[in-house]
Amino acid sequence: MKKTALITGATSGIGRATAHEFAKHGINLILCGRRQERLDTIEKALSKQTNVHTLNFDVRDKKATFNAIESLPETFKHIDILINNAGNAHGLDPIETGNIEDWDAMLDINVKGLLYVSKAIIPIMTKNNSGHIINIGSSAGKEVYPKGNVYCGSKHAVLAITEGMRIDLNPYGIKVGAINPGLVETEFSKVRFKGDAIADTVYKGYKALQPEDIADIIYFVITRPTHVNIADLLVFPTAQASSTIVNKNI
Ligand SMILES: NC(=O)c1ccc[n+]([C@@H]2O[C@H](COP(=O)([O-])OP(=O)(O)OC[C@H]3O[C@@H](n4cnc5c(N)ncnc54)[C@H](OP(=O)(O)O)[C@@H]3O)[C@@H](O)[C@H]2O)c1
């Protein structure tokens, strides 16, 4: 039977590349994001390969999140795979001058949004005694870097929540794991630096990971045999050794 996956943040970057990868393999897709035009474009493109349903909601909005998942047509209600990917960094400032709105955005989206979506979907998985949840964390969830303070905090939280989910959902046979990328060339820096020119320099001078690299890994993770759960994975571009060490001379 065809599996059904719900991907948050499917309008860009890692989420969109994962949608394309899953579509190639005929996985039914529920694609989420806030930009309707992009949802329409991706639905149109991928409907040639698989069944696609789109949901437009802000993961910060608890009610909208529950309503959206509740509204799924019967044919999309049996969710086998959840990719909790929606998230961003907002700003890169020392803690003493950090912007409170940026802090709110990161904690509300990366942490609470992930929890709201999970809360709405976990009952489907516990009822079925099966399922697979992949949380997209970050190398920032494993290592704190200068000015990374709250973003790193949000991704450390994602890792702790992933471990907690894996423990609590263990009796139901549900797989839970985190994929933690280093530098991936997406719209991430545009969002982080709010369109500032510095965003264009982040991926210059070395070969950053591409969203398709992460999509490839996610597909590998979801296609392991039933008894195999990849619990935690850290992936850097070859040029990157840690959050602060990037070799721009290779
Ligand atoms: N790029 C990197 O270097 C990197 C490294 C490590 C981890 N990550 C993580 O990877 C994930 C995906 O990031 P990306 O690099 O693919 O960035 P991206 O290209 O900016 O994509 C972010 C996605 O999240 C969605 N999103 C953001 N805020 C949302 C909200 N409030 N409600 C619903 N959806 C929201 C966006 O869709 P809409 O704007 O349409 O809502 C978009 O589809 C994030 O969790 C990020 O922290 C990225």
Residue 189 resides in a domain: yes
Q: What is the CATH number of the domain that holds 8?
A: 3.40.50.720
Nearest-Å Rg of the Cα atoms of the chain is 17
pLDDT for res 116: 99
Residue 208 resides in a domain: yes
Annotated catalytic residue, options 151, 172, 203, 219: 151
pLDDT for res 19: 98
Q: Left (φ > 0), alpha (ψ -120 to 50) or beta: where does 74 sit?
A: alpha
The tally of domains found in the chain comes to 1
pLDDT for res 249: 84
| 206 labelled catalytic | no
Residue 190 Cβ < 6 Å to ligand 1: no
Domain span at 48: 4-235
Alpha carbon of 194 to ligand 1 centroid (Å)? 14
Residue 156 resides in a domain: yes
Residue 245 resides in a domain: no
Residue 242 resides in a domain: no
Residue 39 resides in a domain: yes
Identify whether the C-beta of residue 206 lies closer than 8 Å to the C-beta of residue 153: no
pLDDT for res 97: 98
Residue 247 resides in a domain: no
Report mean pLDDT in 10-residue bins for the chain, 250 residues: 96 98 98 98 98 98 98 98 98 98 98 98 98 98 98 98 98 98 97 93 96 98 98 98 93
pLDDT for res 123: 98
pLDDT for res 195: 83
pLDDT for res 95: 98
Residue 219 resides in a domain: yes
Cα-based distances in Å from 233 to 109, 178, 241: 22, 6, 15
Give start and end residues of each alpha helix (H) in the chain: 13-24, 36-46, 62-70, 100-106, 114-128, 149-168, 188-192, 211-222
State how far the Cα of 19 lies from the Cα of 6, in Å rounded to an integer. Answer: 9
